[in-house]
Amino acid sequence: MKRPRTIFISLLTGSALCALALFFSGEWVLGLLWAFATHMLLLYATLKPSSQWLGPVVTSFQTEKQEVWLTIDDGPDPEETPAVLDLLDRHQAKASFFMVGQQVKAHPDLARLILERGHNIGNHTMNHLEGRFWSLFRGRIEVEINDCSAIIKEVTGVRPQLFRAPVGHKPWPLDKVLQKLKLPLIGWTARGFDGVSKNSDQIVRRIQTHIAPGAIILLHEGRGTLPDTLDKILLGLSDEAYRCVLPSPESFVCGRRKTIR
């Protein structure tokens, strides 16, 4: 069975050839419009975090229990990570921290502390080039991922087994790089847009809308709102008898699925 990426690339190639044929047959206006539409499809696949068109993205995990996966990006952060770890301990919750290599380099003790407290660490690139990661070529993507994994391994002794792209963007070569490195691309189910909003109540409401067994929750460090937001989320999950767990790779689900309620 062909992968969605293979089908999508074949369709893009065919569409581009149609655009060229129209252009050189004298129908240049129609050809330009066709080419524009083709590029918009590629841009959508690149910028839409949950799109599977350019390669598999884990967007949930399979479970029959009241379980969710809490994921925290952009740390470690000296102002927030210690408080976050205390909150997780208090609620008996586990989380995956997708770390930026430069932050690990700056705060190695916090990276080690996260593992010591029973959580795990994912790769979130070395420099978190959120404004241009979507446009990077293969060589630079490999450097960003490899350098991040190397500093995490150097500091903690553990090589990350998970990857999340900055802003969830998927440049064209990313899938091939991740296949080579044997890293799954982790997306999310529920996000509160805490990267742009500082209203913790609003953030929590957005996330709660998408909570279901197997949901992946996305939060961010370094914005000044995480401890307050996380406490409210964990209290809400506890009220609904949810547990925050670290799912096994065998349970990962790419794309949409019927949630078990």
By annotation, the residues acting in catalysis are 73, 220
Question: What is the rounded distance in angstroms from the CA atom of residue 153 to the CA atom of residue 159?
Answer: 5
Q: What confidence tens digit (pLDDT) does each residue in 142-200 have?
A: 999 999 999 999 999 999 999 999 999 999 999 999 999 999 999 999 999 998 888 99
What residue segments make up the domains of the chain, in order of their start? 4-47, 58-251
> Rounded to two decimals, what is the model's pTM?
0.88
Question: What is the rounded distance in angstroms from the CA atom of residue 158 to the CA atom of residue 202?
Answer: 36
Q: How far is CA 219 from CA 64, 75, 125, 200, in A?
A: 24, 11, 17, 11
| pLDDT tops 50 at residue 101 | yes
Question: What is the rounded distance in angstroms from the CA atom of residue 182 to the CA atom of residue 6?
Answer: 19
Q: Using an 8 Å Cβ cutoff, are 102 and 152 in contact?
A: no
Nearest residue to 113 via CA among 85, 150, 138, 132: 85
Q: DSSP character for 222? A: S
Give the number of other Cβ atoms within 10 Å of residue 116's Cβ: 10
| pLDDT tops 80 at residue 12 | no
Topology at the third CATH level for domain 58-251 = TIM Barrel (3.20.20)
